Amino acid sequence: MIGSQAPLRAVLFDAGNTLLFLDYVRMAEGVGAALGVPLTGQGLAAGAPAAARAMEAPRGTDRERAGVYFDALFRHAGVPADRLAEVRERLTAMHAEHHLWCGIAEGTLDALTRLRRAGLRLGVVSNSDGRVEEALAAAGLRECFDVVIDSAVVGVEKPDPAIFRAALDALGVPAGETLYVGDLYEIDVVGANAAGLPAVLLAPPGAPRPLGCATIGSLRALADDLLKERLAS
């Protein structure tokens, strides 16, 4: 059973690698052309699990963790370590032109729509750069959410419990009646639990599944399970 024993009234989501995904093809083409290095979107995407594991370890700021993530992603794709500064420079320019987190997984919009129709309030809690609302709008998802909390706007980052409490205050829903869904155990699950929220880790097939942590393979599967639980209660 996902969530708590209390009746579920709201679901909060992480953004990156949960609702929104990187445009690997654009990144491969842009960085590859700038560096003269052959890169493919498929090759970059293949390094995402290893990059996510690397991102879990650092205890610095979200910007520092993001740097670790992108460095690991491009190292896995074959970019030499001494050229990673060039990669970061090109990615920064590309992100300024158009948000890099702009893809959504199949079934995401349908899953969110079903949850809203069931009477659940939805929100986003994201470590971002002040542009997560823009990214959600560009992906056609912004209207699904009652509240969007961006760390750059509120001044606090996950896993600090304060950022989760900001979302709960905005929704007016207690922690015990709200589920959090994210992709990073140390950042999302640990942070949400510290704020009193039950949490589930989005872990696609092949991804690590921490012992004792509730996991789900997709947002479509999450919606299926939550709606079944509501019907059974």
Q: What is the mean pLDDT of the chain?
A: 92
Domain count, the chain: 2
Task: Check which CATH number belongs to the domain holding 111 and give it.
Answer: 3.40.50.1000
Spell out the residues 6+ positions from residue 121 whose beta carbon is closer than 8 angstroms to its own. Answer: 9, 10, 11, 146, 171, 173
Residues 121 and 153 in one domain: yes
Half-sphere exposure of 216 (CA within 13 A, CB side): 23
pLDDT for the residue 4:
56
Choose the final residue of a domain: 72, 102, 132: 102
pLDDT at 2 over 70: no
Residues 122 and 219 grouped into a single domain: yes
Supply the pLDDT for residue 5: 60
Residue pointed to by tokens 């809203």: 116
Tens digits of residue pLDDT in 150-202: 999 999 999 999 999 999 999 999 999 999 999 999 999 999 999 999 999 99
Report whether 76 contacts 86 (CB < 8 A): no
Note the pLDDT of residue 57: 67
Residue 2 placed within a domain: no
Domain co-membership, 68 together with 131: no
Instruction: Answer whether 18's CB lies under 8 Å from 105's CB.
Output: no
Q: Give CA–CA dist 171/121, Å, rounded.
A: 8
**Do residues 109 and 41 share a domain?**
no
Q: Among 102, 128, 144, which residue terminates a domain?
A: 102
* Residue 213 and residue 134 in one domain: yes
Question: Model confidence over 121-142: pLDDT tens digits?
Answer: 999 999 999 999 999 999 999 9
Amino acid residing at 134: E
Place of tokens 């890169």: 39
Q: What is the pTM of this model?
A: 0.90
Query: Is pLDDT of 231 > 80?
Result: no
What are the φ and ψ backbone dihedral angles of 36, each rounded to 5 degrees? 70, 35
* Residue 165, domain member (yes or no): yes
- Looking at the structure, do residues 77 and 146 belong to the same domain, yes or no? no
pLDDT digits (tens, 9 = 90+) for 77-105: 999 999 999 999 999 999 999 999 999 99
